[in-house]
Structure 1
Amino acid sequence: MKKRIGVTCSEELQNDKYIHFIKQDYLQAIIAAQGIPVLLPPVPIEDIDMQLDMIDGLMIIGGCDVNPLLYHENPLPLLGETDYPRDLYEIALIKKATQKNIPIFGVCRGLQVINVAFGGTLYQDLSYAPQKILLHSQKERRECASHTINIQENSFLYPIFQDRGYVNSFHHQAIDHLGKGLKAVAYSEDQMIEAIEHISLPITAVQFHPEDMCKTDQKMQEIFNQFVAKC
């Protein structure tokens, strides 16, 4: 039986109505990994268990900024657009999936919201970090790498890339303080966290967008293959 992978949706206001959507690249990467994607639009918190009963794994995708009130900060001037209802839904989804021991994989915003769900904080904009920062919102095509990452041994990425990888980058926020039980397993040259995993739960996440690079870089597809295989 192929594994059913629940995938969260992005939201966008069009003609005074919110639409829910997902980039095809996420779905194609799951299908190529022999999984069956199942789209998960936001539902009332009390109905999340029914969604989770339908899936074997959970993917939290990219999107807008996480509302800083959820990590006990007030908004700073360079904060981007946020979506509080989506934040609340995804955090509840992550917590309930964790209780059911459902494997979770996060991409970009997905990494950030996982960190917040476990009590961590974010830099609301990379310019607020104390060190000198590289360009993390690349001017290159999405399917092309723009910077390197250094990967720790014994991490989920190490069997794929060894100690160094080439990744794309489309974010202006990043992890500041790690959430409880999470550990950083990859860093960019400016010491921004590029990948995390939980010390005991089947939770992994990356700050880059492997789904955009899968067609041209088999290593990026292998990230999805690895995730679906453990679901």
Structure 2
Amino acid sequence: MSRAPLRLAVVEVTRRRPHAPRYDAYVQTMVAQVLADAGEGGWAADRLSAGDLGVDDLLRLSDAADAIVVLGGEDIAPEFYGGGSGYVAEGSHDVVADAAQIALVRRAIGRGTPLLGICRGHQIINVALGGTLVQHLDDAHGLHRAADVPADRSMVGHDVAIEPGSGLAAALGVGARVRSAHHQAVGRLGDGLRVVARSSDGTVEAVEHRSAPVTGVQWHPEDRGSDRAQLPALLGRLRAAVASVRAVAHAA
């Protein structure tokens, strides 16, 4: 008898952005890519919208997930990391999504559920563990995003150096060419995290939890211009983490 496919919760901020249709259309392409790659990798993927569901329903609907991916989107509301409002290029906030995703990350770490955070999802991991954000990057050279252009044209390519011996290096090697579009970044690290990748200007590009199977990457492996091997490799690491968690549970 064949085993049921592993369940992957793919968690976005919101399903609809009527106030920003061009940005929303672009986000939809990235969500679709995650769902497609997950399907090709043998996952049964559940698409969940944190802002539409709220804390209780997001936790309930993701309860049976074997692994989780938290995707990109709007700025995290400053009150969740002790920041102030009125910062440069402040984006819109969805406090319902913030609270729900933070709760989801904390539960995943408590349970040992494998989790991957992408862009905002990477920042959510840090905030959930008590870390802070750099509210606006001084990015005069356009390393992290193309400014003053529509959202669907804001991605830029750049290199990141990945820490040898990290789980991320096992998936991607000790260096990677990535695609980014962000104006915020991880500041003070949250409890239990370590930095496993940086860009040439020192910006934190990836983190891993020291004891839980949780990784965050600041870039977008699901962007249509990215190296098409990156996202399947990261999803493969999630699958390996699920197998490891199950082996430990079986041995116990």
Do they superpose with TM above 0.5?
yes
**Higher helix share goes to which structure?**
2
Q: Deviation per CA, 1:112-164, whole angstroms, max 9, x where unpaired?
A: 0110000000011112x9xx76520148x88x871100010111221233221
- Judging changes above 3 Å, is the alpha-carbon distance between structure 1 residues 133 and 186 closer, same or farther for their aligned structure 2 residues? farther
Q: TM-score, normalised by structure 2?
A: 0.79
In the alignment, which of 32, 43, 47 is matched to residue 35 of structure 1?
Answer: 43
Which residue in the other structure is 1:10 paired with?
13
Aligned letter for 2:11? T
Query: Is the contact made by 1:30 and 1:228 (CA closer than 8 Å) also made in structure 2?
Result: no
Per mean C-alpha deviation after superposition, the further-off stretch among 218-227 and 166-175 is: 218-227
Question: Offset of 1:50 from its aligned partner?
Answer: 2.4
| Aligned equivalent of 1:64, options 74, 87, 94 | 74
* Structure 1 residue 41 displacement after superposition: 2.7
Q: Deviations over 1:22-43 (max 9, x none)?
A: 5201111211222111112333
For the residues of structure 2 that align with 1:134 and 1:24, how far apart are their CA atoms? 27
1:189 and 2:197 aligned? no
Alpha-carbon RMSD: 2.6
Q: Percent identity?
A: 32
Superposed CA deviations along residues 59-108 of structure 1, whole A, max 9, x for unmatched, are 11000000111111111331211111110111111112222221111000
Aligned equivalents of 1:89, 1:219: Cα separation in 2: 27
Aligned length: 223
**In the alignment, structure 1 residue 162 sits paired with structure 2 residue 173:** yes
Counterpart of 1:71, as a letter, is: Y
Aligned to 2:60: 50
Question: Is this contact kept in 1: 2:161–2:198, CA < 8 A?
Answer: yes
Other structure's SS at 1:166 match:
strand
In 1, the alpha carbon distance for the partners of 2:223 and 2:38 equals 12
Partner SS state of residue 126, structure 1: coil
What is the rounded CA distance, in whole Å, between the counterparts of 2:131 and 2:232 in structure 1?
A: 28
Distance 1:181 1:209 in 2: 24
Decide whether the 8 Å contact of 2:54 with 2:96 is kept in 1: no
Letter in 2 for 1:14: P
More moved, 97-106 vs 210-219 = 210-219
* One-letter code aligned to 1:174: A
* Matching of residues 139-178 of structure 1 within 5 Å: 146-178=157-189
Query: Structure 2: which 5+ runs fail to align?
Result: 243-252
- Aligned counterpart in structure 1 of residue 106 of structure 2, from 95, 101, 107: 95
One of 88, 92, 97 as aligned partner of 1:81? 92
Structure number with higher strand proportion? 1
1:147 is matched by which residue type in structure 2? H
Q: Say if 2:72 and 2:120, in contact at 8 Å, map to a contact too.
A: yes
Select the residue among 217, 224, 234 that pairs with 1:223: 234
CA contact (8 A) 2:208 2:215 kept: yes
Q: TM-score, normalised by structure 1?
A: 0.86
Structure-1 residue corresponding to 2:220: 209
- 2:145 and 2:156 in contact (8 A); partners too: no
